[in-house]
Amino acid sequence: MSVLESLSEAVQKGRAKDVTALVEEGLSEGLSAQELLDKGLLDGMGVLGERFKNNEVFVPEVLIAARALNKGTEILKARLAEEGVESRGKVVLGTVKGDLHDIGKNLVKIMLEGAGFAVIDMGVDVSGEQFVAAVKEHKPDVVALSALLTTTMGQQGEIIKALEDAGVRDTVKVIIGGAPITKAFADQIGADGYSADAASAADLAKSLVS
């Protein structure tokens, strides 16, 4: 098995120590940081994301894989900057006002980063004003809104309105998700897309920016 294949597998299995060793090995073999990232680390995360979408793996595997992936990217960070690598696009992500759930949102972040996006994580309990300010500051391609409660899902619509009122709605694609969210709800509040789980969110973002 090549270093890249082994690296992809080590990420999928969440073997952090193996990831560290394989990244070092790859670099010493003369592979570029970009290759190790795309064809090793992100490939592994992508495979896992697909399996997550198909209910073959669950939250712990994804968190453990992300932990391993982070060990790899820490080593590669400086090299990537040297190589001048560009991201696929920029996403501003947050859990809406009134809602403190962050595990689902963090999974979406992991999957988006795994797909090569630069993610600006606004955290939880984020208001429309904060999203507007972030859009103006970071000029993202996508705004992703998470809500886990029936009592807070309405905020997703409020935030879209706030983006409209601020005149920045047309500069971004808005995608939404969370346990109570449906396609019908997304259409009703005028979101550009809805995803049922974290892995599909990355696919959705990819399809919207391409």
Q: By CB under 8 A, is residue 101 in contact with another protein?
A: yes
Q: Which is nearer to another protein, 47 or 63 (CB)?
A: 63
Interaction between residue 104 and another protein (CB under 8 A): no
What does the longest C-alpha to C-alpha distance in the chain come to?
A: 54
Tokens representing 144 are 């992703």
Q: Which stretches within 115-191 are classed as H helix?
A: 128-138, 154-165, 183-188
Report the alpha-carbon distance of residue 159 to residue 189 in Å, rounded: 10
Rounded-to-integer distance, Cα 8 and Cα 160, Å: 38
Nearer to another protein, 152 or 156 (CB): 152
Residue 31 or 64: the one with the smaller Cβ distance to another protein is 64
Contact 177, 196 (CB under 8 A): yes
Asked if residue 203 lies in contact with residue 177, where contact means CB atoms within 8 angstroms, the answer is no
100 touching another protein, by CB under 8 A: yes
Residue 66 touches another protein, criterion: CB under 8 A: yes
Return the bridge partners of 177, or none. 146, 195
Count of H-run helices and E-run strands, the chain: 10, 5
Query: Among the candidate windows 21-29, 42-50, 148-156, 170-178, which touches another protein by CB under 8 A?
Result: 148-156
Looking from the CA of 173 toward its CB, the CA atoms found within 13 Å total 17
- Contacts of another protein in 80-99 (CB under 8 A): 97-99
Q: Which of 5, 21, 67, 80 binds another protein (CB under 8 A)?
A: 67
Per CB under 8 A, the list member of 54, 59, 81, 183 interacting with another protein is 59
Residues 187-206 within binding reach of another protein (CB under 8 A): none
Which of 146, 152, 195, 200 forms a contact with another protein (CB under 8 A)?
A: 152
Contacts with another protein by CB under 8 A lie at 13-15, 17, 58-61, 63-64, 66-67, 97-102, 106, 123-125, 149-152, 179
